[in-house]
Each structure stands twice: as C-alpha cells, then as structure tokens.
Structure 1
Amino acid sequence: MNKKIGIVFVLLLTIPLALSGCTKGNKTTVNNSLNGVWYEIFVRSFADSNNDGIGDINGIIDKLDYLNDNDPSTDDDLGINGIWLMPINPSPSYHGYDITDYYDINPDYGTLDDFQRLLEEAHKRNIKVIMDLVLNHSSSQHPWFTEAVNDENSDYRSYYDIMPEDAEGYKFDMQIWGHNAWNKIGNNYYYAIFWDGMPDFNYNSQALRDEMIKVATYWLEKGVDGFRIDAVPHIFGLGELPENEDYDSKTKDWWQEFDTALRKVKPDYYLVGEIWEANEKRAVYASNFDTSFNFDLSGEGILGMVKFERDFGRRNNGLIQELDMNYSAINKYSDNFIDAPFLSNHDTQRAMDFLDGDLTNMKLATSIYMTLPGNPFIYYGEELGMKGNKPDEYIREPFIWGDSYQTTWKPLDSNKDALSVIKQEEEKDTLLDYYRKIIRLRQNNNALMSGELVGIETISSKVVAYERKYEDETLIVVHNLYSNKIKIDKKELEKDYELGEVLFSNPQQPLIEDNTIELPGKCSIIFKVK
C-alpha cells in the first residue's frame, strides 16, 4: 500500500505459514493451477516500448520471454509462472493507488486493446496475470467522489464515508499514522485512512459493494487470472465506524461476499491479499483468500537471519519453530491456503539494500525463500540486485535492461552502479544467473514446489535445516548462516533418512566425511535422500 508516510516495520515473533496446496498440520496436496513463482511489476518502471520514458504494457509484452519463454530447453529466462501488475487504472499519481476510473487503463501505459494482447501473449507462455485491485478507496479526483461531495442527493454519496460535523459516535479528531483520518470539507467530514487524496469507500452501502463486484467481474471477463487486493484489513478502518461496531467481522463479511460472487464468474481465479498485520489477524482472512503475503518473513525475517548470522528468534531451529507454530493459526480458518514468501516489495526497503550490497548474502537469502513452501513473489529488479529505500520512489526505480527499453521517468539514484540485464548475461556467477538456476531447481522438483515442510533440529543456531517431502520424493535443505565453515554431526541430518547425492550447493560442495559434514560459509545445500 502506498502511504504518504513510511511505516516502521516491526519484527513480529510469529510467522504465519501455509503450505503450497492443501495443508493440514504437516500434510500437503497440490493445486497445480495455483502453484508457482510470481513476479511483481511496476509498469511505469519496467519496459518502455515507445521511447517516452515511461514503462508500458507493450514493453511488458516485448519482454515476456525474459520472464518465461515457455521453452524448457532454454535457460536464459527466469521461468516464472505468473506476474502481478501494480495498479494499471487511470490515476493522477505516479504510483496509481488513487484510481479515477476502475474500468479503463492508465493512458501512460496503453489501451484496453494493449492489455488484452498482454493477456493473450502471457497465456501463450503459460504465464498467469493478476492485477492490483484497489478497493478500499479511490482518488479524491474520481468523478464518483467529486459528485458525492458536491451533491448530497447524488447516488454516489453513499459510496463514501461522508458525515455531518455533528454526527454522534465518531472521533473526527482521530489521528492514524500521524495524520487526520477524518478530513473537513464544508460542513462535513470524509474518512481517508491513508491520506486525504484517497477517500475510503463506504462498505455499509450495498450499492458500493455491488459496484466493486461489478469492477472485478469486468476484469475477470477480460481474461485476468485474479487479483492482488490492496489494504485488505482496512475496509472498515479505525475510527471509520461508531465505537460500538465490530470492524473485523464486518470487513471479513465483505471479503466473503466478494469471493463468493467472483467464484461464480471464474471458479479458479486467484485471490492474493495484502494483510500487513500480526499473524493471528492475517490468519483470520485465510478462508477468504487463496494467498496472503508473509510480511514476517521479509525484512528483518529472512534478510535479518542472513545479515546478522543467526536463526530466526536467535534460537536453534527458530525459523522452523515459528513456521510450525502458525499451522494451528491458519488451520483454524482454512485447509487450502497458500503462503506467499518474499524478500521485499514496492513498500519496503529492497533486499540488496538491506544486505548492504553483499552478493553472497543475497544469494543465501534467495536460497532460503525459494526453498520454503508457498508461492514465492519476486519484486522486479530483485534478481539484478537493485537497491532502494524510503521514500517510495527510490524503491520503484527503473528496471535496468541496458537497452532501448530502459525507462527514464526517474533517475537511477539508488542504482547508478547496478549491473544491467545485458551486463549480467555477459558475466559469470551473477545474481540473475543464480535466480534462473534456483527457480528452475524449484520448478523441476515437486518436493520444493509443493512438498510439506518438516524441520530438522541442529545443534548450531547458525544452521537452518529442513525436509521438503512430496509423495516418494524427499529433499534435505541446509543453510549455513555463518560466514565461516561449520562442522556438524552427520547424524543431525540423518534422523529419518540416509543422505544421498548433493542436488544443489552454493557456493561450493560440502566436505562429507564418515561422521561429519563441513558446511562452507554462507552456503545453501540440498541433499537427496537414499
């Protein structure tokens, strides 16, 4: 969610997890229609096809083979399975999260015909496409809102939270994230949880609810495969309702109504939620969404483990313990939820920036989240090692192609020295090459793509180990978080199985002796079992 102020990210000590496919305790089955690796694209920054400096839909079409050329015999594409497009509707802002027309394409990006062609070309390559759907609020410049505030008899008046200044039960002076949640306009107040340019919709209005279902149906019928939903828990935000009303229940009821209606239109559509909340609240929405982003694994989660060389929670097998703790939370609400691990996105410090440009650490972090259950999401440019931190524009800088498709809407302030796609393809052992290899490894092994997760306890808090199991395939994944080599007893990894060949290792092979395994520093290793 784009906000005028930065959010202070707090490391939470519980990490939600739901396995890819159907999870029940530690059991997993596969839903192949939803499994895969996803790639987040900020269209403005990705690829410019007409030399106006702004990324566009046709640019994405021209670069689809970079993402997935649908040819298993090649290894010069990422091999992703789906793309998430950040907002593509008309908007007065550069980021697009304040929409002025829910039924059209931002003219900076192209036309509806261009978008239709993108869907067709992506689907030819077996790439699914989901679009950002911003349903919590519109732009203050949306015709619905301008009419609503200027005409109290307008049909659109009920679409927004517009209250007379003497209305009882409301805290018109409430501050959220350092700004007023209610904004004075004439003799009324309107509610806008993020900022005054994004007035919240009123989901007590059935007319508004019907309109939003109509919007989503419109795009599903055009061929999109689903939606990433912005600001899921804020449909009824703090201070938006009188104090005695149940915000959470009303919000959950809306998402149930929304999902039920859309399943009738397209039963297999994919619904991904942005629920930037503690695990217990995130879990509540598991029955309404196929997937929600695992914010606890990003930032100080996996990246913190790698940078500070300690397991999650600073205890042996801490990451896996935290993951296991959250099965019960998720399973209260759903047994077919898919986790969405990621390292960074358009609202957070870029992963390589957090890791101070350390390529070794970046490869290790990538190995961890690409070998966990769920559908991992890659933020565009992450595979190049792009950097960036707040304010948001520096997190959303142009993708670095090194050719004529380079966008120029913003200078590369944070990425002046970053290697382009062309440069990385000319060199060896680059981050781009590593992403291509680790994604192919995941795609070619059912245990990594769809298997259950079983933790392996080790003596050292510097070592994270776990099994990935699917039917008769079992892999043992080991990560050494420490900069130096570590020796561990071979029996620590052979609790239930005998180690077989090394399927994958980075940066080098472990030294395996009779009773010990010497793990290189900052390494990731995957063993087959005999």
Structure 2
Amino acid sequence: MQGVLRTLEQTGRLIVLAGWMSLSMAVAAPESGANSTTVVPPTWWTGMHNEQLQLMVRGDNIAHSQVTVDHPSLKIINIASLDSPNYLFIDLDLSEAEPDEFLFTLTKQGVTTGQFTYTLNSRKPGNDRGFDQQETIYLVAPDRFANGDMDNDSIAGLSDKHQPDAPGGRHGGDIQGILNHLDYLQHMGFTQIWSMPLLENAMDSYSYHGYAITDHYRIDPRYGSNSLYRRLSHEAGQRDMGIIMDVVLNHIGSKHPWMDDLPAADWVHHGGEFSPTTHRREALHDIHGVEADKKAFSDGWFVPTMPDLNQQNPFLATFLIQNAIWWVEYAGLSGIRVDTYSYSDKAFLSRWTKALMNQYPQLNIVGEEWTTNPVITSYWQQGSHPADGYQSSLPSVMDFPLQQALVNALTNEESWGSGLIELYGILASDALYGDPYNLVTFTDNQDMSRIFTQLEENYALRDMAMTYLLTSRGIPQIFYGTEVLMANPGTDQHGIIRSDFPGGWPHHQQHAVTGEGLDPQQQKAQNRLRTLLAFRQQHPEAVTGNYLHYVPEAGIYVYFRLDPQGMPVMMGGLNKNADVSELQLERFSPQLSRITQLTRLKRQQDRCCNGRLTVSAGAKCYSMAAAIT
C-alpha cells in the first residue's frame, strides 16, 4: 500500500475524506496503474477556442452527486450521471477562469463524500504547427525501432512481457530509442516522425502494435512516460522535426477499464458483445444501399479484443474530442494520423475534425481509409464534393489508391491498359479530392508487405518507387528501415513486416546508423534516399509546385513540378525499357521552351533540353532539375 501511495503522490494530489480516496491529476496525466478515483482530462488550459470543458470523474458510487467548486470564476454548467453508478460528468464554463488550482467537492444528501483538485494552466505561445508537402514523414513501430531503455522491457502489472524472439511479442523498443536516433533521422533528411500508438495497451498478448488502447491519457510504461513523450516532441522540434500521433477513435482494447464498468449502456456497440464488422466501406457511399448495411460496417467490431465504440453517445464523443486536443496541447504535436477512420460514426468525425481544426488551424490530420478507390478516399477529405453533401473538416487522407497504382505501374507489363498507364490513370482522378497535394503518399506501411518485397527485391524498381514517391505530389511517408532495404520475403505476417530496425539493439550485427554490417546494396539504397531527401530540402519549390504529367508512351512516363507562374522547376521520368531509349523532347516544348539546361539529380550531369534526351536502359528513374535563365 505504501508503494501505491508513493505512486499516487507522484501523479496528483491525494485527499481522503470520509473514507473516500480521490486522485486529482493536477500536474500531468497518470503515470501509474493505481486503481483510484480519476478525473479526465487530467489538466486543461485557459484561453482555448472552446471555453467549455467536460470532466469525466470515476469513483465508487459517485453518480448523482452534487458538485461545487471553490472559486466563482469557474462555473459549473451541468452535472450528469449515466447508467453506471461510478461515473459523473461535470460541464464547466472556462470563459472567466484564470490559471489556477481549483477544489471540487462532491456531496450526497448534504454529506461530503469526496474532493478533488483540478488545475487549469496557461497556454504556451506558438503551440499550433502542422506539416505539408515540404515535409517527409518517417513511420516507426516503436517496439521494433530501437531499445533505448532496457529497464522497461517488462513492467509489473502488465502481462505481455518481453519476448524478443517472438514475431508477435514485445521486443523492447521505446521512446528513448527514438530519442537516441533523432540525429540520425535529421541527418537522413526526415522532418516528421509518426509513431504507431504509444498509449497503454494492457492486453494479455500481441500488445506491441498499440491499437488496442486501455488508457487514453497514459503512455504505455514499456515505452516510457508522458513526460518522456513530451520531451521527444521538444527535442524533435529543436531539430525542426515534428511529431505525429497515431489516434484510435473507432475502438478500444478489451482490457480497457470501461469494459468492466461501461459509463453508459450504449458506450460500446452490440452491448459489449462481439459482432464483427463487414468491412464493406462501400456501403457508406452506395446510393442503392440500405441502412442496415451501413450499420453492419460502422457498428461491427474488428476482432473480439477490440470493442467498437459508439461515438453517437455525446459524452463519449466529447471524451474523444477532448482527448485529442489534450495530447496536441500537452505534447506540442504537429499532426494526427487517425486509424480506421471511416469505421467511426461519420457525423462524429465531422464534429471531431472541426473541433481540432478550430483549435489548431495549422494542424494536419490524416485519416486512414484503406481502399484503392479514389471515389471513397476523396469522400473524407475537406473540400471534396461527395454526392450526399457530406461536410468534412479532415485535411488529409492516406493515398492508398496511389500506392497500389505505383506498384502496379512498376510490376505489370506495359500494355494499353496496364503498367505505367495505371499510375497515370489514378493521378487523373485527382479532381475528386479537395486538395490532392495534401494527401499522404507512401510505398508501404505497418500493415502491408515492405516495398522491397512487393517489388520482388528488384533494386532498380525500388529506386524508381522511392524516387517517384519523393518527387511527386503529396506528402511522402517512409516506413522505418526502408532506407536499408528491410524486407519480409515469403510471409506477410505483421510481426515479420515490423521486424527490428538494424542497430536498434546492442546485439545486432547490422547497424543502419553507423553502416556497420550493411551490404553494398543496402548502403547504396540508404545513400540514394539521403540524396533524395536532401534534394527535397534544398529545392522545396521542386516538391511543392503544381504537378503536370503526360500520358506514358513507349514505356516512359514524364512529369513536371511547376512554380506558381507555371514555369517548370523539376522534370521527372520513369523508364521501364530494357534498352537505351531516346526521349523526344519536342513533345514537352510547352514546358521546356524557356529552359536551357537540365541537371540530372543522380550524377549532377547537365543535359541540353532541345532535340533528344538519352535515357539509360533498365528500370531506372531520372529526376532532373530545370535551370531557368
């Protein structure tokens, strides 16, 4: 018990009244798993766009309590109880409140049953940032990237222990490991870090992936602490890098405390009993469809261990909105990636994104909608014009259609309807999007085979894929280890796809940072990626300008990036021919008529821009900077 009390003293103020134990999160989010009365959000700030706040208080038999606060500047608007006897929801008006610590008193029939303190802080200036086309995102699986603190590999009270040799087990990577690699990532040229979820996953097994959250305000202690996560954001910011948080709105882990005591009977779909989703996202867009098919998609569970949340419950909706705002403010985030975006209630998604964007106009939020149909992906992006008039405030979506089209373009034989024309065709659908330049593009991610495997470990094709990704429209995301050709040959098992990053553990024979043990091809791949990332930083106009392309001909696809005046600043090409090709430049005269010189990125060789351009044989890509006179 003394150990519990020491932990409580570290996370808030402990007050005992009439046998009542209350934990006030007055300084930071809970860093322990102590079973006590809790208040969330753990703290808040004055001067926020929305001047109202809803506290969720959990404690034994506190429903229907009366609540008073010790200062008139903080007004209680409403007190609500739902179906559980152990939850109380307090709506506050912060419009006149100043930063301070406030004492709340709970009473029943005139008898004081408990108290808790709550802290309002002042906001830090400049806590509104985002990411755009100039950025390049590095996606990490934190458990598999680097083990910076071996003391937290296993934690008492969390049953899923350290299993470094099990593909689905916890390997020990953590936030400290990411911190230790910030200089490497900066040197490579990455400007944003997106980590798979870092919040607590107190599941019995397979918890390392992070998508079965059991505490929305606590970093999993096997990764570190809330304060260490904030330090990661701060130190990344000192290197002009941002942090993107992976947020799960659709479901929770079955070990979440809610599942033992639902605040409301409708908090989770299907009464808390497993009923699988159909995954038929098309039902949401089907003008011939029925409501039952939409509900079967949205209300179903992914798996028995991931209960599906009902965001139509207004108290749950507010909880999820405030949780996201809290993390952005607390950690100074530059963006949010939302897992399984379309599975949540779409009216709630409009409310959630609008609240975030009203508070942080510069923030970027990208939703995951795993479909290769751009009609469906574009539906969710702000500024698109879906047939049903749906209003979205979501700035970005993951560009799964482009990912599949790029792989098909490189691996399928050239014909009238296959090969490079597939890439051209998907980009010709960009008119569906509110802003195609703000889509997040990628060659692979945490849920699919690595790009080197998808391309059958053909280095030339891999080079084409990476060069195109980093010079085409959109915001590129690269999966950790892609720079050193990480692969998953012969299997699509997620635990293998998310293998350990070379050099992230002391016993590794290969080390991506130092280059030790890397073979010549891995070194070549890493250097090539570093060159492309340097090009993006040195020539931002070449990766932010308007995209213009030509219908592929004779196995060659040519595209340009244009400045605001319509002048080309970069010319790129994908050549799939086995022999040396002669590219007739007259076709591109509308772009090249005022250009006197082309500089090949790879070897910095100058080429003339009239007549013909000799394009080397093989599956290679040439990205050329235009020198304008």
Matched, 1:362 2:462: yes
For the 8 Å contact 2:184–2:513, the answer to whether it is kept is no
For residue 208 of structure 2, the aligned residue among 75, 81, 94 is 94
Distance 1:219 1:45 in 2: 23
Matched, 1:38 2:137: yes
For the 8 Å contact 1:44–1:56, the answer to whether it is kept is yes
- Counterpart in the other structure of 2:412: 308
For the 8 Å contact 1:424–1:432, the answer to whether it is kept is no
For the 8 Å contact 2:502–2:510, the answer to whether it is kept is no
* Structure 1 residue 109: Cα displacement: 0.4
TM-score, normalised to structure 1's length? Answer: 0.76
CA spacing shift, 1:66–1:164, aligned 2, 3 Å: closer
Correspondence 1:281-360 to 2 at 5 A: 281-287=376-382, 288-298=393-403, 300-308=404-412, 310=414, 313-314=417-418, 318-327=422-431, 329-330=432-433, 334-335=434-435, 338-360=438-460
TM-score, normalised to structure 2's length? Answer: 0.64
Q: Which string of whole-angstrom CA distances, capped at 9 and with x for unpartnered residues, describes residues 51-83 of structure 1?
A: 345111111111101111xxxxxxxx2111111
Correspondence 1:59-98 to 2 at 5 A: 59-68=177-186, 77-91=187-201, 92=203, 93-98=207-212
Matched, 1:523 2:620: yes
* Structure 1 residue 503: Cα displacement: 2.6
- Counterpart in the other structure of 1:9: none
SS of structure 2 residue aligned to 1:102: strand
What is the identity, as a one-letter code, of the residue corresponding to 1:37?
Answer: T
For the 8 Å contact 1:453–1:467, the answer to whether it is kept is yes
For residue 439 of structure 1, the aligned residue among 533, 536, 542 is 533
Identity of aligned residues (%): 24
What is the identity, as a one-letter code, of the residue corresponding to 2:497?
Answer: I
Q: Which string of whole-angstrom CA distances, capped at 9 and with x for unpartnered residues, describes residues 8-43 of structure 1?
A: xxxxxxxxxxxxxxxxxxxxxxx9853311111110
For the 8 Å contact 1:458–1:492, the answer to whether it is kept is no
CA spacing shift, 1:146–1:418, aligned 2, 3 Å: same
Distance 2:307 2:182 in 1: 36
Distance 2:511 2:407 in 1: 20
CA spacing shift, 1:311–1:62, aligned 2, 3 Å: farther
Distance 2:210 2:360 in 1: 26
CA spacing shift, 1:107–1:32, aligned 2, 3 Å: closer
CA spacing shift, 1:312–1:37, aligned 2, 3 Å: farther
Distance 2:417 2:440 in 1: 20
Root-mean-square deviation over aligned CA pairs: 3.1
Correspondence 1:101-180 to 2 at 5 A: 101-148=215-262, 155-163=263-271, 176=278
Matched, 1:397 2:499: yes
For residue 465 of structure 1, the aligned residue among 558, 578, 581 is 558
For the 8 Å contact 1:137–1:200, the answer to whether it is kept is yes
The aligned length equals 439
Correspondence 1:239-250 to 2 at 5 A: none
CA spacing shift, 1:464–1:209, aligned 2, 3 Å: same
- Counterpart in the other structure of 2:325: 217
Distance 1:335 1:419 in 2: 36
* Structure 1 residue 112: Cα displacement: 1.0
- Counterpart in the other structure of 2:65: none
Residue segments in structure 2 that go unaligned for 5+ positions in a row: 1-128, 154-170, 281-297, 383-392
Distance 2:216 2:420 in 1: 49
CA spacing shift, 1:192–1:529, aligned 2, 3 Å: same
For the 8 Å contact 2:341–2:369, the answer to whether it is kept is yes
SS of structure 1 residue aligned to 2:227: helix
- Counterpart in the other structure of 2:314: 206
What is the identity, as a one-letter code, of the residue corresponding to 2:524?
Answer: T
Distance 1:311 1:346 in 2: 32
What is the identity, as a one-letter code, of the residue corresponding to 1:229?
Answer: V
Distance 2:196 2:444 in 1: 14
* Structure 1 residue 282: Cα displacement: 1.2
- Counterpart in the other structure of 1:268: 362
- Counterpart in the other structure of 1:375: 475
CA spacing shift, 1:350–1:510, aligned 2, 3 Å: farther
Distance 1:122 1:47 in 2: 16
SS of structure 2 residue aligned to 1:60: helix
SS of structure 2 residue aligned to 1:301: helix
Deviates more, 1:392-401 or 1:473-482: 473-482
Higher RCO (Cα < 8 Å, 6 or more apart):
1
CA spacing shift, 1:418–1:481, aligned 2, 3 Å: farther
- Counterpart in the other structure of 1:10: none
What is the identity, as a one-letter code, of the residue corresponding to 2:360?
Answer: K
Distance 1:259 1:177 in 2: 23
Tell me which structure has the larger Cα radius of gyration: 2
* Structure 1 residue 162: Cα displacement: 3.2
What is the identity, as a one-letter code, of the residue corresponding to 2:132?
Answer: L
For the 8 Å contact 2:189–2:534, the answer to whether it is kept is yes
What is the identity, as a one-letter code, of the residue corresponding to 1:486?
Answer: S
For residue 57 of structure 1, the aligned residue among 175, 179, 184 is 175
Distance 1:177 1:267 in 2: 32
What is the identity, as a one-letter code, of the residue corresponding to 2:177?
Answer: G
For residue 598 of structure 2, the aligned residue among 462, 479, 502 is 502
- Counterpart in the other structure of 1:409: none
- Counterpart in the other structure of 1:25: none
For residue 515 of structure 2, the aligned residue among 422, 430, 433 is 422
For the 8 Å contact 1:100–1:139, the answer to whether it is kept is yes
CA spacing shift, 1:420–1:529, aligned 2, 3 Å: closer
* Structure 1 residue 453: Cα displacement: 0.7
* Structure 1 residue 488: Cα displacement: 2.5
For the 8 Å contact 1:500–1:527, the answer to whether it is kept is no
For residue 303 of structure 2, the aligned residue among 195, 199, 221 is 195
* Structure 1 residue 443: Cα displacement: 2.0
For the 8 Å contact 2:585–2:613, the answer to whether it is kept is yes
Q: Which string of whole-angstrom CA distances, capped at 9 and with x for unpartnered residues, describes residues 180-209 of structure 1?
A: xxxxxxxxxx96421011010011200110
Q: Which string of whole-angstrom CA distances, capped at 9 and with x for unpartnered residues, describes residues 394-414 of structure 1?
A: 1111111276286xxxxxxxx
For the 8 Å contact 1:231–1:274, the answer to whether it is kept is yes
CA spacing shift, 1:162–1:448, aligned 2, 3 Å: same
For the 8 Å contact 2:278–2:300, the answer to whether it is kept is no
CA spacing shift, 1:423–1:509, aligned 2, 3 Å: farther
For the 8 Å contact 2:130–2:335, the answer to whether it is kept is no
CA spacing shift, 1:112–1:32, aligned 2, 3 Å: closer
What is the identity, as a one-letter code, of the residue corresponding to 1:293?
Answer: M
Distance 2:506 2:511 in 1: 17
- Counterpart in the other structure of 1:19: none
Instruction: Identify the structure with the greater strand proportion.
Output: 2
* Structure 1 residue 289: Cα displacement: 1.8
